[in-house]
Amino acid sequence: MNNNDLKYLLTHINLDKKNIYNSKIKAGTNGTYIDFLKNNNINYKINEIDSKVKSITIMTLDNQMIDIIANPLYPNNNEYGISIMKDKFKTEEHLKEYKMNTTDSKIYQYNDYETAKKDFFKNNPNRKAVIKPLNGSLSRGVYVNVSKERFEQNWRFSLQERNNNLKAKAIVQEYLEGFEVRATILQGRLVSIIARIPAYVIGDGTSTIKRLIKLKNIERKRCNYLRKHLINITDKHTEFLHSQGKTLKYIPDTGESVLLNSVSNVVNGGEVINITNLISEEIKEFALNVLATFPGMYSGGLDIMIKSFNDPNPHILEVNNFPVITLTKYPTYGAPCEPEKIMIESLISQYQFTNKVSSPYNIENQELYIKDFINFSKRKVSINNKRLN
């Protein structure tokens, strides 16, 4: 994302209608599911796998098991599909087999810096790169829009975020223009498409970027979801500002928006916009088709690069097997969704449709949940048939 992409997004939303979550919220995925089960009188059991990992067993009223939610394996997903998703390079190769628009990457060890730089800029010194770990999460070690002049610096930053492990593997790929959106699909249903905006500030004509960050953090503290993810100035921010010819002392004009980072992540001070109703049907179909290519996968989070809400040529960046559902539940702008409701009610609907239940739960849209799941199953068959033919 660059400042023009940021301007495009900000002009399509009402900045005055910002969601402030004052009530106590569960930031974690498991906590969100447990709260829903508890508040809707659905029978469940928690199993502690270890001190940090818990699984949730959804049960009938007479204590029969319906299904289990346990990171990283969602119900109806399988380990083979997950094994592809967890390796960014395998994901890319898989998507190319299905002729899906995606990235074009090469893998290097971090001690292969000179080779990586030489290979990438060999035919075009003006190209922009993305550097990221082969296996990673939460955007750790990810640097985008990297020029030849800044390649060494960003490579070093990425290595530091991998604990300076020179034998760890990194991916280098071409930087795609546009902004990143996350499509969340649960049990074959598209829950939402959200735009994740990296940390940014809007100028008032008198304050420096450093001052604007301080003011924005005060505002973020008002929201129970954002208050834990303040904008903490790091080398990543100063490096990105440097690439724009700016420093923390720069004073933006009134209304001028300035990106502080190019990696879209709430944890690093970003924001979330629910743009589901603004996105074209073609992009929505693209998201569903991408997930449908993965064997045995019915739920996932897809990171997609687009240039506009009607982009005819979206590209898939990554696919996550256990997406962070709070991103769509607590958007900074736009309507909040209820992903936990969709997941749990879909699982109950499937169970009650295929099993005789003496005291069923009253699921208002049970037939629709089943229809979505069946239609997605048909989509998977259709896509695989097209590939074979």
Q: Letter for the amino acid at 232?
A: N
Q: What is the pLDDT, as a whole number, of residue 17?
A: 92
Q: Return the number of other C-beta atoms located less than 10 Å from residue 346's C-beta.
A: 27
CA distance 43 to 63: 7
Q: Which residue has the tokens 């495009």?
A: 8
Q: What is the pLDDT, as a whole number, of residue 89?
A: 85
pTM: 0.91
Q: What is the pLDDT, as a whole number, of residue 195?
A: 96
Q: What is the pLDDT, as a whole number, of residue 27?
A: 61
CA distance 222 to 230: 11
Residues in the chain: 389
Check whether domain 1-97+179-198+262-381 has CATH 3.30.470.20, yes or no: yes
CA torsion sign for 45, 50, 54, 58 is negative
Q: What is the pLDDT, as a whole number, of residue 162?
A: 84
- Residue ranges matching CATH 3.30.1490.20 in the chain: 104-175
Q: What is the pLDDT of residues 52-102, one digit of tens each?
A: 668 999 999 999 999 999 988 899 999 999 999 988 889 999 999 999 999
Tokens of 14: 């009402």
**CA-based nearest residue to 201, from 269, 273, 146:** 269
Q: Letter for the amino acid at 362?
A: N
Ranges of residues in the chain with a pLDDT under 70 are 26-27, 50-53, 136-139
In DSSP terms, 70 is beta-bridged to 73
In this structure, the strands spanning 105-109 and 65-69 are: unpaired
What contacts 80, CB < 8 A, 6 or more positions away? 295, 296
Q: What is the pLDDT, as a whole number, of residue 234?
A: 86
Whether 190 and 288 have beta carbons less than 8 Å apart is answered as yes
Q: What is the pLDDT, as a whole number, of residue 295?
A: 96
**CA-based nearest residue to 91, from 75, 107, 76:** 107
CA distance 7 to 206: 20
CA distance 333 to 336: 8
DSSP string, 112-179: GHHHHHHHHHSS-TT--EEEEESS--TTTT-EEEE-TTTHHHHHHHHHHTTTT-TTSEEEEEEPPPSE
Helix (H) or strand (E) holding 217: helix 209-220
Half-sphere exposure at residue 15, Cβ-oriented, CA atoms within 13 angstroms = 10
CA 292 remoteness from chain centre = 18
CATH superfamily assigned to domain 104-175: ATP-grasp fold, A domain (3.30.1490.20)
**Burial zone of 27 (CB within 10 Å; 0-12 exposed, 13-18 middle, 19+ buried):** middle
Q: What is the pLDDT, as a whole number, of residue 136?
A: 64
CA torsion sign for 89, 3, 139, 23 is negative
Helix (H, G, I), strand (E, B) or coil at 353: helix
- Residue ranges matching CATH 3.30.470.20 in the chain: 1-97+179-198+262-381
Q: Which residue has the tokens 């003006």?
A: 126
Q: Helices 88-97 and 79-86, interaxial angle, to 10°?
A: 110
CA distance 248 to 318: 32
